[in-house]
């Protein structure tokens, strides 16, 4: 019997590293590994990049296939700022995507060039999460660390470089920095934030090896390493996503996205104009507060996370970490419309509604990038992420969207997308075609529910009032 071609896909997230060993022919998962990360939240959201390498090494070894894998790729958390000195060691802990201390620098960048300029030139209007704003923050608040920086990397770039010795990134992850364009790094942006382009890695084209594994790592020396990409781009590959198919991901943060043929250009900043990992685009909207925030509300109420009740007029905006969509970086949680007969179960349902609202409100904008005719209200939403299996989340999304929901059976889609990239090096296919051959998006479809327009109106009105009261609001 012939031995399978085995590839390894890695998901390096804020909390942990997951690795999957996958049969490149069938998509069958042959082995899994996981190792945790620590996040330091004392001042912002920071993490030591060296522990990501330790976790990657442990997770890849735990798959049981490290010495036999024929290719590997890494999907990593987007936007994180990794600064390295001349020896390749971290200058300081990495600033993670959800560190919002750079909100003033993001606002300055928008004021300097204008939202329409950003949408046209870069494809996205930068917020606090974007790497350009984080570097501007570092330059302004820690100039000594900025001066000591000899290389600037994204999280997946850092890990790929430690595997291969090659300074490389990909178009998908690079598109979340705020300084990448299809024509290269944007000189005006880099000049404004004081970043020398010589500190940045080269962009490796899709389907091209980023390099080969060096001795001393978790793999056999010489193993091909694909370019890798950002976590959202990897998840899109992991689904084998086709143009116009809506995805809603329920994790610590929430995202909605699709694959588009045209480059997004949304001056409101709601839709980020990311590139995908291949040759298309990944219009995406993201919220900071999703499953973790709702679980926190459930804990405060003393209820199980699924123990919701219908009805009630309360609105609960679970903006416990500030919010990205809408752009309220300094917001906190808000409860409005409380009555004598409001029940704890209704409050918990209101938290679900408040978390889902902004994602679903942005969904049509995401889908309309290829034109209004591309929006099909009957097409199921692919519901993924840690919350996707929860009945309360499923029902909330169906009730507020009026759409059916499909539940892909495949798990760990970021790692699967990275595995598809690795497999594509062996087969010569496109990575998304590999995932479609594996059937990763297959799963049951839940029928649509009648859209709850009254709840949508209540929540929308409350958000508008909140933006005015806090002096914040969508750009």
The structure tokens listed for 459 are: 């929540």
Per-residue tens of pLDDT for the chain, all 475 residues:
567 899 999 999 999 999 999 999 999 999 999 999 999 989 899 999 999 999 999 999 999 999 999 999 999 999 999 999 999 999 999 999 989 899 999 999 999 999 999 999 999 999 999 999 999 999 999 999 999 999 999 999 999 999 999 999 999 999 999 999 999 999 999 999 999 999 999 999 999 999 999 999 999 999 999 999 999 999 999 999 999 999 999 988 899 999 999 999 999 999 999 999 999 999 999 888 999 999 999 999 999 999 999 999 999 999 998 887 888 878 899 999 999 999 999 999 999 999 999 999 888 899 999 888 777 888 999 999 989 999 999 999 999 999 999 999 998 999 999 999 999 999 999 999 999 999 999 999 999 999 999 999 999 999 988 765 555 444 3
pLDDT score, position 474? 41
Q: Collect all residues with Cβ–Cβ distance below 8 Å to 391 and sequence separation of at least 6.
A: 306
pTM equals: 0.91
pLDDT score, position 3? 77
Q: How far is CA 172 from the centre of its chain?
A: 11
Q: Quick check: 33 and 59 in contact, CB under 8 A? A: yes
pLDDT score, position 182? 95
The structure tokens listed for 24 are: 């490149």
Q: What's the N-to-C CA distance of the chain in angstroms?
A: 60
Q: Collect all residues with Cβ–Cβ distance below 8 Å to 457 and sequence separation of at least 6.
A: none
Q: Quick check: 395 and 446 in contact, CB under 8 A? A: no
pLDDT score, position 468? 55
What are the catalytic residues? 231
H or E stretch covering 202: strand 202-203
Domains of the chain are 6-233 (3.30.420.40), 247-402+444-469 (3.30.420.40)
Considering Cα of 24, then 30, then 35, then 36, what sign does the dihedral take?
positive
Q: Collect all residues with Cβ–Cβ distance below 8 Å to 300 and sequence separation of at least 6.
A: none
Q: Collect all residues with Cβ–Cβ distance below 8 Å to 218 and sequence separation of at least 6.
A: 56, 57, 60, 61, 66
pLDDT score, position 465? 85
CA nearest to 438, candidates 472, 415, 468, 457? 415
Vertex 51 angle, CA 46 and 56, to 5°: 125
Q: Quick check: 201 and 161 in contact, CB under 8 A? A: yes
């Amino acid at each position: 019997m012939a031995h399978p071609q085995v590839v390894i896909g890695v998901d390096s997230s804020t909390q942990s590293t997951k690795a999957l060993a996958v049969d490149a022919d069938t998509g069958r998962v042959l082995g899994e590994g996981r190792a945790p990360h620590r996040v330091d939240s004392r001042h912002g959201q920071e993490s030591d990049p060296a522990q990501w390498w330790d976790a990657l090494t442990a997770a890849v070894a735990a798959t049981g296939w490290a010495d036999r894998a024929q290719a590997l790729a890494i999907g990593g958390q987007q936007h994180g700022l990794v600064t390295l000195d001349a020896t390749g060691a971290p200058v300081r802990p990495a600033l993670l995507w959800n560190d919002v201390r750079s909100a003033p620098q993001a606002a300055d960048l928008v004021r300097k060039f204008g939202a329409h300029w950003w949408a046209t030139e870069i494809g996205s209007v930068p917020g606090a999460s974007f790497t350009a704003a984080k570097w501007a923050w570092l330059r302004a608040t820690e100039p000594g660390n900025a001066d000591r920086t000899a290389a600037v990397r994204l999280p997946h770039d850092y890990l790929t470089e430690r595997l291969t010795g090659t300074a490389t990134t990909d178009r998908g992850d690079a598109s979340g920095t705020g300084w990448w364009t299809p024509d290269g790094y944007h000189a005006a942006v880099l000049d404004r934030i004081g970043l020398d382009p010589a500190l940045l890695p080269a962009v490796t084209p899709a389907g091209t090896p980023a390099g080969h594994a060096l001795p001393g790592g978790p793999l056999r020396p010489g193993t091909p390493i694909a370019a890798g990409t950002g976590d959202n781009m990897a998840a899109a590959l992991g689904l084998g996503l086709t143009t116009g198919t809506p995805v809603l991901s329920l994790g610590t943060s929430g995202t909605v996205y699709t694959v588009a043929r045209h480059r997004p250009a949304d001056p409101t900043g709601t839709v980020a104009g990311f590139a995908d990992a291949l040759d298309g685009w990944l219009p995406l909207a993201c919220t900071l507060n999703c499953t973790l925030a709702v679980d926190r509300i459930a804990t405060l109420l003393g209820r199980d996370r699924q123990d919701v009740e219908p009805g009630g007029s309360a609105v609960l905006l679970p903006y416990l970490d500030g919010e990205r969509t809408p752009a309220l970086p300094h917001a906190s949680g808000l409860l409005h419309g409380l009555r004598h007969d409001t029940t704890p179960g209704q409050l918990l349902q209101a938290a679900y509604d408040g978390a889902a609202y902004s994602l679903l409100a942005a969904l049509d904008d995401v889908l309309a990038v290829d034109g209004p005719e591309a929006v099909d209200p009957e097409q199921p939403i692919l519901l993924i992420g840690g919350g996707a299996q929860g009945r309360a989340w499923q029902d909330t999304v169906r009730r507020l969207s009026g759409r059916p929901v499909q539940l892909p059976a495949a798990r760990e889609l970021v790692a699967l997308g990275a595995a598809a990239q690795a497999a594509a090096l062996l087969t010569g296919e496109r990575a998304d075609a590999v995932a479609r051959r594996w059937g990763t998006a297959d799963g049951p479809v839940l029928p649509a529910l009648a859209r709850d327009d009254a709840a949508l109106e209540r929540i929308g009105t409350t958000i508008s009032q909140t933006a005015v009261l806090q002096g914040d609001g969508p750009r």
